[in-house]
Amino acid sequence: MAIAKAERLMNLALCLLGTRRPLSKRELRESIEAYLEAGSDDSFNRMFERDKDDLRELGLVIETVENLDGEVGYLARRDSNRLPPITLDAEEAAALGLAAKVWQQARLAGAASGALQKLRAAGLPEDVDPYESHGALEPHIPVHEAAFEPLMLACRDRRPVVFDYRKATAVRPETRHVEPWALECWRGHWYLAGWDRDRGAERVFRLSRITGKVRARAGRYTAEVPDVVTVRETVAGWAGEITDRSALIRLRSGAGYPLRAKAVSVRELGGGWDELEIPYGHGLDAWLVEFGPDVVVVEPAELRADVVDRLRAVAKG
Amino acid sequence: MAGKPARPTNAIDQTRRMLSLVTYLRERPGARVGDVARAFGITEDELISDLDVLPLCGTSFRGGDLLDIDTDGDRIWWHNPDDVAEPLRIAADEATALLVAARAVSTLPGLREGDRQALLRATAKVEAASGEAAGASSRLSVTFESEGGVFADVDRAISERRRLWIRYYSPSRDELSEREIDPIRLVSVGHTYVEAWCRRSEARRTFRLDRVAEIRILDEPSAPPEVELRDLSEGLVQPAAEDPEVVVEVGPGGRWVAEYYPHDSADELPDGGLRITLRTPDPTSLRRLALRLGGDGRIVSPEDLADSARSAAREALAAYDAPDGLEGVEDRPYEGREQGL
């Protein structure tokens, strides 16, 4: 039976951490059973390179050193791999325990528990059991979008990407070349901010509208990455939450609680109707139509016309 | 444990865990299997499978330098501990995962101040200990939405085991109703919800905090029946197989429906739109959707749902066509564009 990958990685990690001098590939191959069984030099080399990358992924700093004979050796120095001293009290430990389980994305869930386990090994207190103490509060970070992981890696490594993106109202997706800056999750949906190379401007993309694969591209960023990337403001604008205008509507008494909750002022008109002044942002027309005959727009005229158009479309449907 | 999705074993995660495990075991000779599994957030079976691998690992399989770690199923012993097992520094992805989550939770409106402070202190310490690896964590961020006041009351009611009275808005019926609920837990997934036993419907219900119009903590004790907590990772709305089916056809401008409504299928249409099939216990609640879609889509079935949306739209239009139907606004000039249907 083939030797399990975790066993092979563990052996490589222990060899590299345990040695005081760089070990050559040949030496490593002789010390690790799985490599001896690897067969050809080619398949060993491929396996070894992948394993080194995997160990670096989990945080191991592996140095490559050339010795006097020109032979390449590898080692993971203790001092560059040791966790600096960190002391956390029981409350802090419990708080981190709660944070470590919020990710619902396999890679980040694994990484978060990995971090907690390293801290645990370094003496993180266990008096308070982090997995039970906050039983009544469960924050989850949902990640349903397939584009999330490749974009997270691209943001991390600052790598340009290409993907097909379908704008909210577009019939067909369009190919976009983007230098990804940051990802943000708002109201359960993920957004990417970055430099759109074709448009020569900053853009925000909704991950659920990316169709097909995200492909990484070679090369550097051409635009400077801003110190602060604001995704939420842009998205809140789309959601109609940023507004400097207001509208006047009539609302049937007792109906439309969310409109009342947002209202700047409410005036009773009698006859079963109230008049409300509400903020007028993007998308208000579609929202008002949801209330059917319980809402009548008074002004502005532009909003009245939009609502009437929408109602006509439904009436004809 | 509830809410903790089982993950398939991944060689990288397992290796990372075994490296920490070795360090951990060195400090705790004779550690108990149950305690170690809990400390590592894994099942005892997962721990045992790690303990099966560890004795095959070492600095050389030839020299006999293998880890002599064994267990009798209750306690774990490492007979030849060495200094290879030092706590390892935190990797970039690990720092990102932990820090982004900790920052997100610490901004949850309504979180107990003591917990928030503990999180902020812990975040600062982990940041410092992670060094450069913490840098990339600024490239991800998450905001949880919550109503701080409502959250704090629910949190208090849960910890004091007391019943709550709420006035709650139901969007599907556009009405407020009063109910008494026995809160079970608070769940944040973008928005924050309280899962509770609803005394009015005698059933488990989930309430979104921003739809709670009023809340009071009652003196009566909360006594929710023992219910099995659902795994909410797949979403709070989980339609049942026996729920009625609704078919909606949308144009390109209505594709968002597939992003917001859990559905059985979404088939591409030639015009760039979608034909979406979904299930809901209460199809009349989708009248709002039909109205909202306007020209961007329509309900294909059930027919009576499509009819009710059409007649609601006609009724609404009547108010614009007949100014005298609007007490109090006759003096306002109407703009053109509403020339009847």
On whether both B114 and B45 belong to a single domain, the answer is no
Residue B334 inside a domain? The answer is: no
pLDDT in tens, B265-324: 999 999 889 999 998 888 878 899 999 998 899 899 889 999 999 999 999 999 987 654
On whether both B32 and B55 belong to a single domain, the answer is yes
Residue with tokens 């219900």: B205
Residue A57 in contact with partner chain B when CB distance is under 8 A = yes
- pLDDT beneath 50, residues of chain A: 1, 130-133
- Please state the φ and ψ torsions of residue B152, each to the nearest 5 degrees: -60, -40
On whether both B280 and B314 belong to a single domain, the answer is yes
pLDDT in tens, B320-329: 876 544 443 4
On whether both B170 and B197 belong to a single domain, the answer is yes
End-of-domain residue from the set B182, B208, B234: B234
Indicate yes or no: CB of B97 within 8 angstroms of CB of A109. Answer: yes
How many other β-carbons are positioned within 10 Å of the β-carbon of residue B90?
30
Residue B327 inside a domain? The answer is: no
Domains in chain A (CATH in brackets) are 5-81 (1.10.10.10), 85-141 (no CATH), 148-238 (2.30.30), 246-316 (no CATH)
Distance from CA of B128 to the nearest CA of A (A): 9
Of the candidates A18, A129, A185, the beta carbon closest to that of B59 is on A18
Residue B159 inside a domain? The answer is: yes
Q: Which residues of A touch B129 (CB under 8 A)?
A: 83-86
Cα A30 → chain centroid = 42
User: In this predicted structure, what is the pLDDT of residue B213?
Assistant: 93
Q: Which residues of A touch B306 (CB under 8 A)?
A: 317
Indicate yes or no: CB of A122 within 8 angstroms of CB of B94. Answer: no
- The pairs formed by A164-170 with CB atoms below 8 angstroms and a separation of 24 or more are A164/A210, A164/A211, A164/A212, A165/A205, A165/A209, A165/A210, A165/A211, A166/A209, A166/A211, A166/B255, A167/A209, A168/A209, A168/B253, A168/B255, A168/B256, A169/B252, A169/B253, A170/B252, A170/B272
User: In this predicted structure, what is the pLDDT of residue A127?
Assistant: 58
Alpha-carbon distance B72 to B150, whole Å?
Answer: 50
pLDDT in tens, B237-256: 666 778 889 999 999 888 88
Residue with tokens 């609302």: A251
Q: Assign residue B235 a region (left: φ > 0; alpha: ψ between -120 and 50; beta: otherwise).
A: left
**Residue range B123-127: average pLDDT?**
95
**Residue range B48-63: average pLDDT?**
81
Indicate yes or no: CB of A106 within 8 angstroms of CB of B10. Answer: yes
User: In this predicted structure, what is the pLDDT of residue B324?
Assistant: 45
| CATH number of the domain where residue B40 is located | 1.10.10
Of the candidates B13, B131, B190, the beta carbon closest to that of A187 is on B190
Encode A150-175 in three state secondary structure: HHHHHHHHCCCEEEEECCCCCCCCEE
**Token pair for residue B214?**
């009023």
Residue A21 in contact with partner chain B when CB distance is under 8 A = no
Indicate yes or no: CB of A286 within 8 angstroms of CB of B102. Answer: no
Of the candidates B57, B91, B102, the beta carbon closest to that of A99 is on B102
On whether both B210 and B153 belong to a single domain, the answer is yes
Q: Which residues of A touch B183 (CB under 8 A)?
A: 136
More confident residue, B82 or B124: B124
Domain total in chain B: 4
Residue A221 in contact with partner chain B when CB distance is under 8 A = no
ipTM of this complex prediction, to 2 decimal places? 0.86
For A83, name the nearest residue in chain B, comparing CA atoms only. Answer: B89
On whether both B226 and B172 belong to a single domain, the answer is yes
Indicate yes or no: CB of B316 within 8 angstroms of CB of A292. Answer: yes
Residue B341 inside a domain? The answer is: no
User: In this predicted structure, what is the pLDDT of residue A53?
Assistant: 92
For A144, name the nearest residue in chain B, comparing CA atoms only. Answer: B234
User: In this predicted structure, what is the pLDDT of residue A257?
Assistant: 94
Alpha-carbon distance A270 to A280, whole Å?
Answer: 24
On whether both B190 and B257 belong to a single domain, the answer is no
DSSP-based helix, strand, coil % in chain B, nearest 5: 40, 25, 35
Alpha-carbon distance B114 to A94, whole Å?
Answer: 12
Residue B84 inside a domain? The answer is: no
Residue A243 in contact with partner chain B when CB distance is under 8 A = no
Residue B285 inside a domain? The answer is: yes
Burial of A236 (0-12, 13-18, 19+ CB in 10 A): middle
Indicate yes or no: CB of A121 within 8 angstroms of CB of B317. Answer: no
Of the candidates B57, B96, B187, the beta carbon closest to that of A11 is on B57
Alpha-carbon distance B130 to B92, whole Å?
Answer: 8
Residue pairs spanning A and B at CB distance below 8 A? 432
pLDDT in tens, A248-270: 999 999 999 999 999 999 999 98
Query: Which residues 257-296 of A are in CB contact (within 8 Å) with B?
Result: 257-258, 261, 269-271, 273, 275, 286-287, 289-296
On whether both B16 and B72 belong to a single domain, the answer is yes
**Residue B40 in this model has a pLDDT that exceeds 80:** yes
User: In this predicted structure, what is the pLDDT of residue B64?
Assistant: 64
Peptide bond into A142 cis (omega under 30): no
Q: Which residues of A touch B328 (CB under 8 A)?
A: 250, 269-271, 273, 275
- Residue whose C-alpha is closest to residue B315's, from A311, A261, A156: A311
Residue ranges making up the domain that contains B166: 148-234
Indicate yes or no: CB of A140 within 8 angstroms of CB of B233. Answer: yes
For B271, name the nearest residue in chain A, comparing CA atoms only. Answer: A171
User: In this predicted structure, what is the pLDDT of residue A244?
Assistant: 77
Residue B86 inside a domain? The answer is: no
For residue A237, CA distances in Å to A94, A283, B184 come to 37, 10, 35
* DSSP single-letter state for residue B211: G
User: In this predicted structure, what is the pLDDT of residue A194?
Assistant: 94
On whether both B160 and B127 belong to a single domain, the answer is no
Residue A93 in contact with partner chain B when CB distance is under 8 A = yes
For B306, name the nearest residue in chain A, comparing CA atoms only. Answer: A317
Alpha-carbon distance A310 to A232, whole Å?
Answer: 28
- Residue whose C-alpha is closest to residue A102's, from B10, B103, B146: B103
Q: Give the model's confidence band at B340: pLDDT under 50 very low, under 70 low, under 90 confident, else very high.
A: very low
Residue A61 in contact with partner chain B when CB distance is under 8 A = yes
**Token pair for residue B63?**
């020299």
Q: Give the model's confidence band at B96: pLDDT under 50 very low, under 70 low, under 90 confident, else very high.
A: very high
pLDDT in tens, A182-240: 999 988 889 999 999 999 999 999 999 998 899 999 999 999 998 888 888 888 777 77
Indicate yes or no: CB of B253 within 8 angstroms of CB of A292. Answer: no
**Residue % of chain B over a pLDDT of 90:** 43
Of the candidates A119, A138, A254, the beta carbon closest to that of B3 is on A138
Distance from CA of A199 to the nearest CA of B (A): 22
Indicate yes or no: CB of A118 within 8 angstroms of CB of B94. Answer: yes
On whether both B109 and B36 belong to a single domain, the answer is no
